[in-house]
Structure 1
Amino acid sequence: MSGTIGFVGLGHMGGPMAVNLVKAGYRVVGYDLVPELLAAAADAGVEAAASAVEAVAGADAVVTMLPAGRHVLALYRDGGLLAAARPGTLFVDCSTIDVADARAAHEAARAAGHRALDAPVSGGVVGAEAATLTFMAGGDADAFARAEPLLAAMGKKAVHCGDAGAGQAAKICNNMILGISMIAVSEAFVLGESLGLSHQALYDVASTASGQCWALTVNCPVPGPVPGSPAERDYRPGFAAPLMAKDLGLAANAARAGGVDAELGLRAARMYAEFAEGTGAGQDFSGIVRAVRQRSGRPTDQNGTPA
């Protein structure tokens, strides 16, 4: 694919993604409600539109990166994006939203004469900036084939997971694994602290043994073993705890609706909701280790690290 891309939602994820499309040679016309975000994207080569409708008018494809399903559906329908786009435009929604909302967005796009793909991402802000995101896509094979060049410009891998909503299903399942894993790794480190085990010793064992996982070896929740992890920068996100809480909430809702006995997933959703609403509001999701310490009555300093 080549040509003009309309991009709506230029936040911490969407902004770098739009810029990477520019770097790949696309003309990108973007819009965001926040003037500062729009200005930052414009400084990096994105053409600033005065409205979301203006951003998509005349575009060959439209990418949206928005906070929730209600925002996607409101813009598609009431916001006039579908009506403003040329017939047959490809709509790629990279937001993480409810599966039912994703399917409703597909249906609305089809009814308006367009193609649609739900393509949520994994990789966080670092992946968005470095164009190393993984896309989980749902939609028909033709829509996926049309979107692949765009996804390749913004990430390193794109997986066609199935029909409408399948990308969102894969995303919430993946992040349920991640959330549970981070809690498990955090609890293991706090247990190790209580037993007099150093962080480095536990890492050296678990990172090359059966406890090895991404939450340990890439996003380690304690400072020291993994240079560059959020723990090394006082848990600045990264992947913010409120976003993990949101994703786990979607997974929990889906589990309940499907009658799945996802005991650990439901517990992880509750833990992250509590953390995100409290001290974790501005922290990386790996900061959950601090909450584990507090609940365990482990002494900490003012930063929530072991005293």
Structure 2
Amino acid sequence: MGGHMAKNLLKKNYKLTVYDLNKSAVSNLVEAGANSASNVAEMSREVEIVISMLPSNQHVVDVYTGENGILSAAKKNVLLIDSSTVDPSVSQSIASQAKKDNLRFIDSPVSGGINAAKDGTLTFMVGGSNIDFDYAKSILEAMGSRIVYCGDIGMGQAAKLCNNMLLAISMIGTAEAFNLGQKLGLDAKVLANIVNSSSGKCWSSDLYNPVPGILPNVPSSKNYEGGFGTTLMAKDLGLAQSAAIRTQAPIPLGSLAHQIYRTIIAHGFSNKDFSVVYQFLKGKN
């Protein structure tokens, strides 16, 4: 995700300094015109804006607040944009620490997946001050087609967790429906044509169908490679579960989706796209 986002910034003639533990990711961006840094502190020291895209709560905490982290190195008044998906409380905590260091922070998680990152059509869900949102908007527009202001710090994360929980639930439902249809002898493409022009239509069926061969450019037709991994979906559902417990919000389907994706991982699908739930329901490892 971050690599594609960075390439879109380069295409819009932004000057980038990049860092990643994945050396090949850095090499690809250097070949595209970026400068590289040897660590997070070096990357943060001379730039006007920092954009992070990281896997989990702890990664974000370590990169921002750890020894030689972003907060220790960035210049005063630099804008920090975190596009990771984390617990809203993590964003709120980092924003509070950033403010003490005279730094600005917004949470800006994304929706749309690998293809949208590549095409520059991501949706950004932003939490922070109106001033910082306005300042960041042109940067985010270089990577996305829809930039939505969600409210105070953490509200971008709240929107993302709710969206991903719904996505997981709808993907499981889509996979169940298509598996049942085929068990009954119905052609999957016929069912897709009906569902996508009827009341069952949803993103999981229409634009990201989990059945191989229905859509050519989605992970299900590429052996479930690429896309949004089951491990990341389980992580996001875990964050939603924690938020629901903290706020005492009942999420029976969200909780079940979390358990299903954890089970999928235990059955060896951890490196596959989350639409592989279709194969899991069919009983294929």
Greater CA deviation, 265-274 or 278-287? 278-287
TM-score (norm 2): 0.96
Mapped to 2, the partners of 1:149 and 1:105 lie a distance apart of: 23
Q: Which residues of structure 1 form unaligned runs of 5+?
A: 1-12, 295-299
Q: Deviations over 1:1-57 (max 9, x none)?
A: xxxxxxxxxxxx111211211111111011112222211211111101121111111
Quote the RMSD (CA, aligned, Å).
1.3
Name the SS for the 2:126 alignment partner: strand
- 2:184 is matched with 195
CA shift, 1:80, in A, is 3.2
Q: Which residue among 236, 250, 259 is the counterpart of 1:247?
A: 236
Cα deviation 1:125-154 (Å, max 9, x = unaligned): 211111111111101101111110110011
1:229 positional shift: 2.2
Specify the alignment match of 2:79 in structure 1: 90
Match of 1:182 among 166, 171, 176: 171
Question: Is 2:117 the counterpart of 1:148?
Answer: no
Matched position secondary structure for 1:275:
helix
Matched, 1:28 2:16: yes
Aligned-residue offset at 1:224:
3.0
Q: Which runs of 5+ in 2 are unaligned?
A: none
CA distance in 2, matches of 1:274, 1:112: 43
Match of 1:54 among 42, 60, 67: 42
1:47-126 mapped onto 2 (5 Å cutoff): 47-78=35-66, 79-126=68-115
Q: Is the 8 A contact 2:234 2:258 kept in 1?
A: yes
Provide the identity percentage: 40
CA shift, 1:63, in A, is: 0.5
Q: Does 1:285 align with 2:280?
A: no
Structure 1 CA distance for aligned equivalents of residues 281 and 273 of structure 2: 14
Tell me how far 1:237 sits from its aligned partner.
2.2
Q: Which runs of structure 2 are paired with 1:291-306 in the superposition (5 Å)? A: 291-294=280-283
Relative to the length of structure 1, the TM-score reads: 0.89
Q: Per-residue deviation at 1:279?
A: 2.4
What amino acid is aligned across from residue 35 of structure 1 in structure 2? K
Residues paired across the two proteins, number: 284
- What residue identity is the alignment partner of 2:107? D
Higher helix proportion: 2
Shift of 1:114: 1.0
Alignment-derived partner of residue 40 in structure 1: 28
Q: Is the 8 A contact 1:237 1:285 kept in 2?
A: no
